[in-house]
Chain A
Amino acid sequence: QVQLQESGPGLVKPSDTLSLNCTVSGYSISTGYYWGWIRRPPGKGLEWIGSVHHSGGTYYNPSLESRVSMSIDASKNQFSLKLTSVTAADTALYYCARERRDFDYWGRGTLVTVS
């Protein structure tokens, strides 16, 4: 069974960089698929942030592209998200997920507050 688990600081200061990791179990991420990040601000809907391919290629939501970077660490079976210059608008529940254009496996999410 594929499982994903987000990890990282729950509190980030304005203008700092938000960094999250997603550890995958039950599947080797170097085998295939894209691996994505999605967030849900309080009281709002879901927003796709971007995805990283198992080979390292990336594509991002244009609304966030200037501040986002993603990468894969196959040795740890992890992928990561960095979001720079955060503001209160980046406060959200952040999910990682396996992407096949839809998202078939998700983590439980981690709340990141910018304050």
Chain B
Amino acid sequence: DTGVSQNPRHKITKRGQNVTFRCDPISEHNRLYWYRQTLGQGPEFLTYFQNEAQLEKSRLLSDRFSAERPKGSFSTLEIQRTEQGDSAMYLCASSLGRSDTNTEAFFGQGTRLTVV
């Protein structure tokens, strides 16, 4: 599968623990997005990178969340001191963007986080 890859697929953690998710985008894609999806809702935007630069962060992204894309390739999303409200599906997507245009965004299969 040469699409967007996310690991792990599932994560169960105790409240208060830190978790880190990884996303490997399609190799030539310069834009990478993180979304969160809870039951019955559409994906909610968290943050996005163009190459290694984090260009936009949602107000949903509290101080406990941090994302990196160190070399403009894979990205990690870390949640510190997890809370039960963090339980959700975390989706990663990538696209090829130039200036104000954007190609189709391709999504990964997501990481399902359960905080107990």
Q: Do A and B come from one complex?
A: no
On B, residues with C-beta under 8 Å from A are none
Residues of chain A at the chain B interface (Cβ within 8 Å): none
